[in-house]
Chains A and B, each alone.
Chain A
Amino acid sequence: MTDIASLCARLNLDEAAVRRVLESESSAASRSAPWYVLLLLGLGAWITALIMIVFVAVFLHFAFEFDEPDLGSAAIGAAMFLCGLLIETKTRASLFAEQFAIVLVAAGAAIAAASIGFKFESLWSAAAAAAAMTAIDIWRGRNAQQQFLLAALAVGLGIAALSDAMVAGRVDIVALALPIGALLYLLPPLKEVRPTATVLLLAMPFYAVVADSLYDPTYGSASWPARVIAMATIMVLAWLHSRGLAVPTTRLRHLFVAVVAAAVCLLLPPGGSAALAILMLAFTLGHWPLAIVGVLLEIYFVPRFYYDLELSLLTKSWILMAVGIALLAAYAVLRRTGAAAP
């Protein structure tokens, strides 16, 4: 860690300007909300958007006898989306209006995208519509939880389209979202895109969770490219991290841990490998919320991996003990070199 003066000196930044920005950010009103507040408000917006979608469906059914979504309901969804954006532009102080606008935008986008999908009988067109609305929201850059909801809608519809089309290697295509999300975290553009980057990072693990439990398990011997993508992401992150370390032995130790983690990617199912890459990104950037998400995902994927192995319980027990001993040995080495806590 460093202080502001050292940070500015190291990165050749204008210290006065940096202090000015941090002071203006320090007022509670202008600072971005912590992740758990965004999570809570996002959850509330999601629930309310679902209720609003039900309302629109019921209203259209009874008032206009719409039995199936079509271009008319798409137009209503688009109008709701634009109306929400307009409310956000006009009312900056009212929190009620802000939350109402988020719900309107999210529900409108979902109705418009779903209606287009129904009309053209294509999930691709629904995903494209949702992606276009996400792009508009990123361009406007108003609200993190709104961008997260829209990006999740677009990515979710895109993955559903891939699955529906039975595209070969769809797991590997979904896995490509991981390095793109990591790249957006490491090289963020001026426009706020972290909510979209988070959705891209989570795409592979959540696809694996849904696919494993529904119809199309992603574990097993297939999906090697997806594992290699996660492995490569981990290696690049480790290389970036080790570049900044001054002591060569520390650099070697970190690279060793990264190589081990990357090798584990070849064992785990693609969702678990992607979660490992999320953990590595959290470690590299010093990002606690991503670390929490990564840990929770691994708590799902690691036991699932052992459960799904088509081996006898005896063989599984040997593998478990061997991995456990290897990890405890790694911990002992890290302790001896002073890298881990006592």
Chain B
Amino acid sequence: MPTLRDVNALRSHGLIPTARYFAAASAVRDDRAWASWAGRAILAIGAAHLLAGIVSFFAYNWADLSAFAKFATVEAALVIALAGAWYAGIERAVGQALLIAASILVGVLLAVIGQVYNTDADEYTLFVAWTVLILPWTVASRSAAHWAVWLVVLYFALSLYGEQVLIPEGSLTNTALAVGLGGLAAVVLAVRELAVRKAMVWLAAGWTRIGLLIAMLGLLFWPAVGYLLDWLYWGDGIFAVLAFVIALALGAVAYRRWLPDFATATTVVGFALLFAIAIGYRAIDEAVGFDGDEGLLVASVGLLVLWSVAAMGLAAKLLQVLRRNLEPQPS
């Protein structure tokens, strides 16, 4: 089937006149996919508005509500969301959206408990309880969006537990926490790939793979580059650099050899390019220095220009080779 890209190629060769370009683009448009996308977008925006409206309403009246009224309103909303999900069926988009709303309301309920009973507990306890309580619904939903919400809550639970308990008591360093969270994203990505191989098609959407890969590399990238560029003064920051390099290598091998995917491999190359520029900066800073005399400064910046251009050229070459090998050829 021809695509919009083919139509653009035909236009650039002059085979489609300007006046007929739109008709050609309309002819190759996947109407079903776009209708489905538009419907889901309206559903998501509508649900988000309604939920935000309810939260704002109670936020406005919060101080005047009795403890009973506070619990009753949040729990009523929770029950309505659950009943709606059950009625609509969790295999449908609307049922899944309602179940996600119920999961978010559990977090609101826990916050209300903390406020009414003035528990003085650390924030991490709320997120840990939230993570545990909504796990059964997340498993039952068979929805990638619900899993994404659960993973965000889990991320906050673990990072707050690390920052509020483990780091202050000396059981963990900042680097270890950052590496651990990045490693967790890597494990989740691996589980996602295995699940898709086991025919869990609801996890197969491309955004789940790219999203997890960006989370994994992003979580490891900042501490690694922060250490390289002296933004972070973590004594063991070199381990963040090592972890990032290992993650890059694993990503490259996985999406080049085991699960060939050009878009995902491009993401890996992108992170590698930015990391290479940062390494070049650090190496030139160590070898020549950016704060020496005038001649050395000109030489350092000049070297950095050459290094960056070389890194970009190498990235472009890599992408060219990867594209030839990985991208499906049009029929």
Contacts and interface: CB of A to CB of B under 8 A. Distances in A.
A156 B14 CA distance: 32
Interface string B4-35: 11101111111110111111111111110011
B256 to A, nearest CB: 15
A98 B313 CA distance: 8
Contacts of B314: 96
B50 A325 contact: yes
A327 B42 contact: yes
Given A1-B30, A62-B298, A11 B20 contact: yes
A99 B20 contact: no
Contacts of A186: 21-22
B308 A320 contact: no
A62 B294 contact: yes
Nearest to B5: A32
A40 B60 contact: no
A330 interface: yes
B309 A327 contact: no
B218 interface: no
Contact of A313 (B2, B30, B47, B56): B56
A32 B8 CA distance: 10
B312 to A, nearest CB: 4
A59 B246 CA distance: 38
A103 interface: yes
B121 interface: no
B1 interface: yes
B313 A100 contact: yes
Interface centre among A21, A186, A241, A317 (most CB of B within 10 A): A317
Interface stretch (A44-52, A109-117, A213-221): A44-52
B209 to A, nearest CB: 13
A86 interface: no
Nearest to B17: A11
Interface in A54-96: 54-55, 58-59, 62-63, 94-96
Contacts of B37: 283, 291
Interface string B49-69: 111111111011100000000
Contacts of B46: 323-328, 330-331
Interface centre among A2, A32, A51, A295 (most CB of B within 10 A): A51
Size bin of chain A's contact surface: 35 or more
Contacts of B310: 96
Interface residues of B, number: 91
Contacts of B30: 1, 286
B93 A321 contact: no
Contacts of B184: none
Interface in A239-256: 240-241, 244
Nearest to B56: A317
A316 B11 CA distance: 48
Interface in B267-281: 267, 269-270, 273-274, 277
A167 interface: no
A244 B305 contact: no
Nearest to A101: B309
A309 B157 CA distance: 33
Interface stretch (B111-119, B165-173, B220-228, B323-331): B323-331
Contacts of B20: 11
22 contacts: A1-B28, A4-B2, A6-B27, A32-B8, A32-B9, A34-B266, A40-B273, A48-B308, A95-B313, A103-B309, A187-B22, A190-B14, A285-B22, A286-B25, A286-B34, A302-B45, A314-B60, A314-B61, A317-B54, A318-B53, A321-B54, A323-B46
Interface of A: 1-4, 6-7, 10-11, 13-14, 17-18, 21-22, 25-26, 28-29, 31-34, 36-37, 40-41, 43-45, 47-48, 51-52, 54-55, 58-59, 62-63, 94-100, 103, 186-190, 192, 194, 240-241, 244, 257, 283-287, 291, 295, 302, 306, 312-314, 316-328, 330-331, 334-335, 339-342
The 7 closest A-B pairs by CB, nearest first: A340-B39, A327-B46, A324-B50, A320-B53, A96-B313, A324-B49, A321-B53
